[in-house]
Amino acid sequence: MKELVGYCTKCEQEVFCLNGFLEGEVTNEKEIICYKCLEEKDKKTPRPNDQGE
């Protein structure tokens, strides 16, 4: 089953619930962010164990 849940607050792409699984995440501020935008955010955010190399 595929249901429209809302729109990504970053790129405005439709975010669906597929068989009970959300195609993104809901932030503490109750915003929906799609997986594509989450991946881009992860690429830009340095991890604590990264040495900057």
Q: Which residues contact 14 (CB under 8 A, 6 or more apart)?
A: 4, 7, 8
- Domain ranges for the chain, please list them: 2-44
User: For 5-30, how does the pLDDT look when each residue is reduced to its tens digit (9 = 90+)?
Assistant: 999 999 999 999 999 999 999 999 99
User: For 39-49, how does the pLDDT look when each residue is reduced to its tens digit (9 = 90+)?
Assistant: 987 777 776 76
pLDDT at 33: 96
